[in-house]
Structure 1
Amino acid sequence: MDNNTDNQEYPIPDLSYLRDMTDGDEESLKEVISIFLEEAPGLMKLMKDSADSGDHDSLKFSTHKLITQLTYVGITSVVPDVKLINTGSSKMSDLHERVERIIRVVEHSMVYLRTLI
């Protein structure tokens, strides 16, 4: 994979919304990022396990929480997929592929976010 493709699939999180939300306060920004870094792995696991087991209620719960958190920390490239899963996972033929892509993008973004705290 070349760098352009890599950057398109794994864009750097856009923290402009979070900076606005925290009025540019670096400590508050770091706190929100830290909370995301603590909670995201569990939500990713719940999302994957729920998709694997066909538990659409748990999948709806995990994706609902993720939509807000991903928006806060600027991992917006996967939000449309997370919203699709949230509203119609039981009808999706590519559910597992979308879940795997979301996990890859979020994990890649988390590496970057860790450098900020």
Structure 2
Amino acid sequence: MENNKDNQKYPIPDLSYLRDMTDGDEESLKEVIAIFLDEAPRLMKLMKDSADSGDHDSLKFSTHKLITQLTYVGITSVIPDVKLINTGSSKMSDLKERVDRIIKVVEQSMIYLRTLI
């Protein structure tokens, strides 16, 4: 029951940018989604590990890559937080909380994206 409540908190990914980018080709769209589903868990783990250890260089690397991928697959609600981490993680008092929120939103969005491929 709690998962249903969590799903309602987060918007469904907006695939309009990806559809435009792929000229509406469903196979290309599915391929981009599959690549995201493969790469995002590694980037999120790197982001989490980097935040936990205070490695701001690795955090900048992972968030930079994540911004692009999130844009492609329409998980835009967390992009402002990812950008904020990318540019100023060393000054953030709530860094770990923001990272955890980003991960939660992305993981919920990935559940939806998996249904499309």
1:70-112 Cα offsets, whole Å, 9 max, x none, are 0000000000000000000000001001000000000000000
1:5-84 to 2 correspondence within 5 Å? 6-7=7-8, 9-84=9-84
Provide the rounded CA distance (Å) in 2 between the counterparts of 1:15 and 1:5: 21
Name the residue aligned to 1:108. 108
Aligned residues: 115
Whether the aligned pair in 1 keeps the contact of 2:7 and 2:108 (CA below 8 Å) is no
- Runs of 4+ more than 4 Å apart: 3-6
| Percent identity of equivalent pairs | 87
Structure 1 residue 10, shift from structure 2 partner: 1.1
Matching residue's letter, 1:30? K
Structure 1 residue 5, shift from structure 2 partner: 7.8
Q: Could you list the runs of 5+ residues in structure 2 that have no partner in the other structure?
A: none
Provide the rounded CA distance (Å) in 1 between the counterparts of 2:52 and 2:107: 19
Relative to structure 1, the CA distance from residue 115 to residue 5 in structure 2 (aligned partners, 3 Å threshold; closer, same or farther) is: closer
Structure 1 residue 4, shift from structure 2 partner: 8.2
RMSD: 1.4
Provide the rounded CA distance (Å) in 2 between the counterparts of 1:33 and 1:99: 22
Structure 2 length normalisation: TM-score? 0.94
Structure 1 length normalisation: TM-score? 0.94
Q: Could you list the runs of 5+ residues in structure 1 that have no partner in the other structure?
A: none
